[in-house]
A and B are shown apart, each in its own frame.
Chain A
């Protein structure tokens, strides 16, 4: 009983710490969000802005842009903690490392993922989506962006301290993101949910293992 509440305290503290630290570097968050908005707005410029075409590519464009934005923002997920030595301490916490990872991912989702999901309906307007289609897309993003963050955590953990690690991490993570991308852009919320459940189960332990590998 006491052990569980201790875990809960540590978990909540972890999320709070992560939010606080990331908020201190909020330029990063804003620029990633801005990147998302800019890319989505670029696509219609590169194709014929025919209403029907835009409606049909909207899901794909928003999803690919979300994918690229999260990739841009998260390969440095652990590097700050690695640089100042706090990563070693986080591993030594009395809670399982995969829970620590989940805490970090949850914090990042609250900070970056939620704004991204909230902005997407506005961007859906640019593509002339109906309100039902917009709601569907936003729902897939709500369930899908956590998947992207969870997978990016694996890449970030594996490429800790490597020069040009961001590109290597992207190469590793992109194939893994394909199911979420396919189901999300295709508008199938339940399949994205299934992928989310699966990823939540295997990605944090994988990230924990990756952190241990990188820190040896």
Chain B
């Protein structure tokens, strides 16, 4: 039992973690590609046409997973950063930095796809509803984290400063969301919801879940790849060819 515990702790060292990370990447990349293909197949071929929105609703299968990944990765980023700060684990902070880019990218994708969905469905390129506005603010939170880390030269200071920003951001997310909702109800015109809560046919749900899983696996693969790059750049250890 004690030996097993000691084994897990050794992975906090970059030298031990690095080969593991590199071995893991294909195990996530390939299933991700398969799930993307499966999700798109079910979403486009199997799922029926929505009687309210026609074919346009199919953007949902990339918009919703991207939005969820954006939010999930922010939470993960904050957690890893805080752990790295609290317990002084470098690798944990590196993981947070690795997560930030992917999270920001997914948030951006969700904003763009949301806009491209809104135009044909509701006639406007942008809808100032609570969810889209909150997603935009989430993007700002990511950008703050990334820019802060880019502008600090000392890596340990960058890690800790990022952890503080991420933690403060995480605490503020519920407050920001509530304030945006309040603002939205104050100025509410017509009730517009990006995701209709109408009946979701089983094939639609399947496609959605497949796409979420695909995005999730993609994120793991990409973040691990970025982590491996960060480890090599910062730790200067020999990279075995």
Contact = CB atoms under 8 A, between A and B. Distances in A.
Contact of B168 (A164, A176, A178): A176
Contact of A198 (B144, B147, B151, B175): B175
A179 B175 contact: yes
Contacts of A158: 148, 161, 164-165
Contacts of B172: 175-176, 179
28 contacts: A154-B168, A158-B148, A158-B164, A168-B147, A168-B151, A171-B140, A171-B143, A172-B148, A174-B140, A175-B140, A175-B141, A175-B169, A175-B172, A175-B176, A178-B179, A179-B176, A179-B178, A179-B179, A182-B182, A182-B183, A188-B182, A202-B168, A206-B168, A209-B164, A213-B157, A213-B161, A216-B156, A216-B157
Given A198-B175, A213-B157, A213-B164, A176 B151 contact: no
A210 interface: yes
B160 interface: yes
Contacts of A188: 182
Interface residues on A, range: 20 to 34
Interface residues of B, number: 27
A186 B179 CA distance: 10
Given A175-B137, A206-B168, A182 B180 contact: yes
A162 B183 contact: no
Interface of B: 137, 140-141, 143-144, 147-148, 151-152, 156-157, 160-161, 164-165, 168-169, 171-172, 175-176, 178-180, 182-183, 186
Given A202-B171, A210-B161, A168 B148 contact: yes
